[in-house]
Structure formats: structure tokens, C-alpha cells
Structure 1
């Protein structure tokens, strides 16, 4: 029986390949200053990390250019003078690695005051990042209106009954997140991963979901008026009873989607893929179907 590998000591060298750039540091550097960070968790000894068989390097698919600033922060708490755009890029890396101290420092440099500019929200982006480090995250009934939560990993988070009006979830990872009866008008989910999300009864009127992944998502009875779903993946989505009046689904993929009882007046399906979609007894008279693919769709009793 093989014995488990020895836990790394604090002075153990670590070789990193960050987006093609190579770095050398120690376990102590990666774990001491911000012990609640992703990096500290990775090199705590609790996880077996895949390493290159020849070099022993650990590969991380992130921006290698800015990682030197991450290391300098972890070593001595230093943040260099940078342009605003560079600070914003570094802030993305700090948030990805869950380095909250570094994120605070950058925000101070930029003079941002999330609490003041987003006075309606009960929490800030920083608060959300802290919360998502814990298992079974819930924001049920919380007001997160106006927050920028783009590019965060919010998979399986429960936003049911929350108010997230005008929030930015662009490119966020929201697989299996719950938005039951959530108030989310005029929010952005552009390019977000909402695979298998629950949005039953949610109000997303006027929201942007272009190029989002909503495959197998449940949007039953949701208000989707005037929403943009351009080139969105809605394969096998549940849209029974949803209000799609005036929504733009041009180029969207609705293969196998269920639209039973959906309200479709003024809905744009131009060049959309509706193959094998369930459109039985749906009123299609005021929809735009130019170039739409309807092969194998169930149109029994549909009004056209």
C-alpha cells in the first residue's frame, strides 16, 4: 500500500506556468499573506495538483503578465503604480485568485467606492466574492441591484427571490444557479454560462442574454419580454408558459426546446434553429420566422 505524499513545507519551492510565463516561488509565499485565497487552498497540501512530468510545473490558464504583481503582493504587500486599465486587469486576476486584500488595495488606488455608487444594493462585489468561497451559497431575497458580478464563478448559487435589477453577470459561470421568482429586469447575462439554471417565474424583462449558454435551463413562466437572445444556446430549454413577447432570438439555437403555452407576439426567430422544438398549439401569427429551421418541430395545432 502506497503512503500518501508528504505535505509540502512552507519553504518548498513551487514552479508555476501561468498562461505560458514561468515563475518560481515558495509554498509560504502562496499561502501566508492571504490564507483564504484560491492559491492558498491549491498549495495547502490538501489537494493533488497535476504537474508537468518533466518540469514539475503547475499550469494555470490565466494572464501570465500580471501574475508577477500577484506574487509581489503575496511576498511583501506591494502594488506598483499603474494606469487605470492595468489596475482593472490586475483586479480581475485578484478576484479570480480570491485575493481580497489585493482587490481592496487596487480599489483604493482607483478611488472606487462601491458602497456609495451602488447604495441600493445590500452587498458589494467584494462581499459576494467573500461569500462564494463558502459551500451552498445563498442570496435568497437579497438586493444585489446594479452590482458588477461579471466573470465570477457563481455556479449553484441560490438567487431565488433576490432583486438583481441592472446587475452585470456577463461571462459569469452560473451553471445550475437558481433564480426562482428573481427580479432581474434590465440585467446583462451576455456570454454567461447558465447551463441547467432554474429561472422559473423570474422577471428578466429587457435583459441581455446574447450568446449565453442556457442549454437545458428551466425558464417556465418567466417574463422574457424584450429580452435579447441573439445566438443564444437554448437547446432543450424549458420555456413553457414563458412570456417572450418582443424578444429577439435571431440566430438562437432552440433545438428540442419546449415552448408550450409561450406568448410569442412580436418574437423574432429569424435564422433560429427550432428543429424538434415543441410548438404545439402555439400562436405563431405575429412571430418573425424568416430563415428559421423548423425540421422535426411539433407544430400540431399551431396557429400560423
Structure 2
């Protein structure tokens, strides 16, 4: 073995516990100049170099050393599983890379906070919450929970994950569902009067028999939803995607469907009196027996 000669512009070959890496002196010394790793190659220390291949051997596990090099190159903390973060943290502490240590700890704390937010609530938890004066479940994951028959009026569910939630016969008057993911949720016979569903994903949801009077469903994804017998009087459905939706027997009197997609939608026996349907494409829509008295059909494609 020969002594390692420092040259700040030279390539550097490292053998970390049997794993080999190529980098430069600049990379290992510039981002974290006060680290032990930088000190090793500062020229102040004597290191042994293999005369046959030029590798400097460091007796540490090389499993995560590529993440250390990437941190030194780009300053980006890798995304890893918690167990791997613990291993990387151990190596960062050994090499005294304080910036990387802080970055890992920040990521672990952030994950902990997010995990606490994702903690599943029970029906009992929800009942306790709604007894308070103002209730918000913004951004909370409530997937699959049974919230049937509860009084959830005025509750703010905006940005929450409500996949397959059971809201049957619940009172949700004036509740907010802005940008929620409620794919497959069941609202059968629920009261949704004056609710806000702007930008919500309700793909495949069951809304049969619901009261959606004056509800705001603008820009919502309502693909494949069932609104059979629902009360949608004066509802706002501008730019909503109702492709393959079933609105048989629904009351859409005075509803605004400007820009709505009704491809293959079923509106058999629906009440569309005084509904706003200007320039809507109704070509593939089933309108058998539908009431269109007073509906604004100017420019509609039929």
C-alpha cells in the first residue's frame, strides 16, 4: 500500500467495505467541509491506497454510501423506508455529515406527522368529534368507515380520502367535499342539500335517492355514478363529467349543466324542466320519457 496523495481536482476511488465508488476530492470536501469525511481527504491525514488499483479502503458498510455521495453532490435527501433511513443515519453520524443528519431527521419527523394524520378514525371517534361546535376533517383518510345515519351537517371534509365510505341516510346538509376522493362512496338516501363537491372525485359513487337540491358539483368527476330518483333541483353541474352516469327518474329541474359531459348517460324519465343545457352533447344520452319543458337547449347536440 502507498500513501494517498491529495489533489483537489483529481478523481477519487473508494472501497467502502468491499463496494467500490468513483468520485472526486471536491465532492467529498466541499458541501460538508467540517465533516470527518472531508477531513480524511483534506491532505492533513495519511491514508493507505492500494498500489494495484488506486482504491482507498474505508472499513464501513458500503450499502448506503451511494446516498451519501449523492447528498454531497446534490444536497438531496433520498426517499427510503424507515429502517433504511436508520441505517443511513448511522453512516451519516459516523462521517459527521451534519446537513444530511438534519435532513434525515426532518424527513422522519414529517413522516411521523403524516402518519398521525392518516391514523384511522372509528365511527365512535367521529361521533365524539361532531359533538363539538365546528368540525373539520380536511385531508383526513376516512376510507371505508361507516358514517351512516349520522348528523354531519356543515362538516368540512375537503381534500379528504373518502373512498368507499358509507354515508347512507346521513344528514350532510351544507357539508363541504371540495376536491375529495370519494370513489365508490355510498350516499344512498342521504341529505346533501347545498353541499359543495367542487372538483370532487365521485367515480362510481351511489347517490340514488339523495337530496342534492342546490348542491355544487361543478368540475366533479361523476363517471358511472347512480343518481336514480335523486333530487337535483337547481344543482350546479357545470363542466361535471357524467359519462355513463345513471340519472333515471332524477329531478333536475332548473339544474345548470353547462359544459357537462353526458356521454352515454341515462336520463330516462328524468325531469329536466327549465334546466340549462346549452351546447351540451346529448347525442348518446338516453332521454326517453324525460321532461324538457322550458329547458334551454340552444346549440345542444341531439
**TM-score over 0.5 for the alignment?**
yes
2:121 corresponds to 1:149: no
Larger of the two Rg values belongs to structure: 2
2:242 corresponds to 1:248: no
Instruction: Tell me which of 178, 181, 194 is aligned to 1:180.
Output: 178
Deviations 1:3-50 (A, max 9, x none): xxxxxxxxxxxxxxxxxxxxxxxxxxxxxxxxxxxxxxxxxxxxxxxx
SS in 2 for 1:284: coil
Asked if 2 retains the 8 angstrom alpha-carbon contact of 1:121 and 1:146, the reply is no
2:227 corresponds to 1:226: no
Instruction: Measure, in 2, the Cα distance between the counterparts of 1:169 and 1:146.
Output: 10
CA shift in 2, pair 1:281/1:145, >3 Å: same
Structure 1 runs (4+) greater than 4 angstroms displaced:
none
Deviations 1:111-152 (A, max 9, x none): xxxxxxxxx862111110000000110000000000000000
Query: Which TM-score applies when normalising by structure 1?
Result: 0.60
Instruction: Measure, in 2, the Cα distance between the counterparts of 1:175 and 1:236.
Output: 15
Match runs of 1:1-40 below 5 Å: none
Instruction: Tell me which of 167, 170, 174 is aligned to 2:168.
Output: 170
> Which one is further off, 200-209 or 120-129?
120-129
**What is the root-mean-square deviation of aligned Cα atoms in Å?**
0.8
- Tell me what 2:56 maps to: none
5+ residue gaps, structure 1, are: 1-119
- Tell me what 2:133 maps to: 135
Asked if 2 retains the 8 angstrom alpha-carbon contact of 1:164 and 1:185, the reply is yes
5+ residue gaps, structure 2, are: 1-117
SS in 2 for 1:131: helix
Query: Which TM-score applies when normalising by structure 2?
Result: 0.61
Q: Tell me how many residue pairs correspond in the alignment.
A: 185
- Tell me what 1:289 maps to: 287
